[in-house]
Amino acid sequence: MVRPVLARAVERARAALVELNEGSVGDHLGVTAEDDCAATHRFEAKLPGYHGWQWAVVLAAVPDSDHVTISELALLPGPDALVAPEWVPWSERIRPGDLSPGDLLAPPENDPRLVPGYVATGDPEIDAVAFEVGLGRKQVMSREGRLDCAERWREGEYGPDSEMAKAAPSTCELCGFYLPLAGALHAEFGVCGNEMAADGHVVNASFGCGAHSDTTLPGGAGTPRYDAYDDAAVEVVEVPADDQSPAEPGTRTELEPPLDSASGN
């Protein structure tokens, strides 16, 4: 609870801001207690580019005293203030998808995802064979790097827990379009070769989609078949000779007068 002597010092706090001469001071927004001897008055800040910011004036008064002193003045963001995004270290500012044509992105020094690869022997024949089987690289992925990669792929769009996989009739490991990877990730990952599905993407073996090579269309009776009806054809109907044909449209029919009228009654 704010002490009355501190709560009443609104004009004292405003005067301190006016004396600071850093910008227009708006309406008083409220006061909050810091402790038994201090409180903070907040005012609207009318500064260009600082929408939603507030002036904060910290006042203090010793116990049993009516003398109020100014402890601190500050410009602070309010609940609706426009503020800069949270600071991110330089080493973490590049995100997946930021790399553009022509950009260079070197791995960090002592990257735990990489370990030394095959060391050339100097023998051209041996080194040529080593390169053909994938041993001709200066660095290769470490076990930690492979595990991190596998986890990222497994939890991604083409993992077994995706909505597409849950609705699929079968899995990629049983699909004819599935091209397994070589190396340590052979058992769990491959590349999709179906241009109508995840073409060119690494997919988990337990992933699946509706374009599986074993997919068949559901059978059924289908739409009933009827004889074609030609509304332009003329249908010939035989009418017995004793049947009286109805009058043609547009012709006038003479009706016999009632018997009473004919007899004059």
Taking phi over 0 as left and psi of -120 to 50 as alpha, with beta for the rest, 64 belongs to left
Q: Are 177 and 192 in contact, with CB atoms under 8 Å apart?
A: yes
Q: Which of 155, 186, 204 is the last residue of a domain?
A: 204
Residue 262 is predicted with a pLDDT of 47
pLDDT band of 265, cuts 50, 70, 90: very low
Residue 258 is predicted with a pLDDT of 55
* Rounded CA separation 153/184 (Å): 14
Tell me phi and psi for residue 18, to 5 degrees: -65, -40
* Residues of the domain holding 193: 143-204
Residue 196 is predicted with a pLDDT of 96
- Whether 247 shows a pLDDT value over 70: the answer reads no
Give the closest residue to 75 by CA, choosing from 48, 42, 49, 34: 42
Residue 20 is predicted with a pLDDT of 86
Residue 218 is predicted with a pLDDT of 73
User: What SS3 state is found at 53?
Assistant: strand
What value does the CA radius of gyration of the chain take, rounded to a whole number of Å? Answer: 44
Domain count, the chain: 2
How many whole angstroms from its chain centre is CA 256?
86
- State mean pLDDT over 86-91: 87
Q: Which of 179, 204, 229 is the last residue of a domain?
A: 204
- Whether 11 shows a pLDDT value over 70: the answer reads yes
Tell me phi and psi for residue 203, to 5 degrees: -125, 150
The torsion angle over the Cα atoms of residues 123, 128, 133 and 138, rounded to 10 degrees, is: 70
Which of 21-30, 126-135, 171-180 has the lowest average pLDDT? 126-135
**Where does 21-94 have alpha helices with state H?**
none
CATH number at residue 35: 3.10.450
* Rounded CA separation 232/138 (Å): 82
- State mean pLDDT over 62-81: 91
Residue-wise over 128-145: b if at least 16 C-beta within 10 A, else e? eebeeeeeeeeebbeeee
In a domain, 87, yes or no: no
* Rounded CA separation 149/201 (Å): 14
Residue 185 is predicted with a pLDDT of 94
In a domain, 220, yes or no: no
pTM of the full predicted structure? 0.54
- Whether 177 shows a pLDDT value over 80: the answer reads yes
- State mean pLDDT over 46-71: 91
Q: Which residues neighbour 15 within 8 Å (Cβ) at sequence distance 6 or greater?
A: none
In a domain, 31, yes or no: yes
In a domain, 122, yes or no: no
In a domain, 227, yes or no: no
Residue 220 is predicted with a pLDDT of 62
Q: Which of 204, 222, 241 is the last residue of a domain?
A: 204
